[in-house]
Amino acid sequence: MEAVAAIYRHHVLHGTATFETEAPTADDMRQRRAAIAERRLPYLVAEGSDGQVLGYAYVGAYRPRPAYRNTLENSVYISEEARGHGIGRRLLEALIQECSDLGYRQMVAVIGDSGNEASIRLHRALGFEHTGVLRSVGRKHGRWLDTVLMQLALGDGDTAPPATK
């Protein structure tokens, strides 16, 4: 989790994909991962042939209220050195498959910064539909930032009732 924390730290301090402004510690990241594992949700890490962590991806509850229990929100973060090599795509494809296999019905991407073209292209390439933009809802690095909302139906989507969860 030290490597995961380092990847995220870079995005917190230099990017706009996350609206956090203070980088969490490796212990914080361990606790976050444990909370996801407790819910039996996927948390994936991509490693290079040398064992170096290249990126990670996970899902969490979209919202805490029970009516949202069949909908997940994804997060994907790639190290600066590994960007542009398809790591994010492989991680997100695996997340989609695992969440579909678990019986979830919707996956939502809440993308920080409408200028985050790489993330928007990745999600679009994997079938996510653009569902909206929340204008100027965050402020980081001295500027206002939008949030782009994208959504993908998993499995049967909304064409049939879900299995009881």
**52-93 residue pLDDT tens:** 999 999 999 999 999 999 999 999 999 999 999 999 999 999
Whether 94 has a pLDDT exceeding 90, the answer reads: yes
Interval 1-18 mean pLDDT: 97
Token pair recorded at residue 95? 């997340």
Q: Residue 135 in contact with residue 115, Cβ under 8 Å?
A: no
Contact 126/32 with Cβ under 8 angstroms? no
- Sign of the Cα torsion 102, 73, 38, 51 reads positive
Q: What residue has token string 């695992």?
A: 98
* Within a domain: 162: no
- CA 92 – CA 111 distance, rounded (Å): 14
Distances (CA, A) of 41 to 81, 140, 163: 27, 30, 16
Residues composing the chain: 165
Query: Which CATH number characterizes residue 65's domain?
Result: 3.40.630.30
Residue 7 has pLDDT above 70, yes or no: yes
Give dist(CA 77, CA 57) in Å, integer.
Answer: 6
Q: How many CB atoms lie within 10 A of CB 81?
A: 11
The structure tokens listed for 126 are 């994997």
pLDDT of residue 165: 59
In a domain? residue 23: yes
Which pLDDT does position 53 carry in this prediction?
98
158 is a domain residue: no
In a domain, 163, yes or no: no
- Does some domain include residue 165? no
Domain-located, residue 164: no
- The pLDDT, as a whole number, for residue 10 is 98
Q: What is the pLDDT of residue 163?
A: 81
Query: To the nearest whole number, what is the mean pLDDT of the chain?
Result: 96
Q: Which domain holds residue 13?
A: 2-153
pTM of the model: 0.95
Question: Does residue 112 fall inside a structural domain?
Answer: yes
Number of domains present in the structure of the chain: 1
pLDDT at res. 159: 95
Average pLDDT over residues 114-142: 97
Asked if residue 116 belongs to a domain, the reply is yes
Q: Does position 113 have pLDDT exceeding 70, yes or no?
A: yes
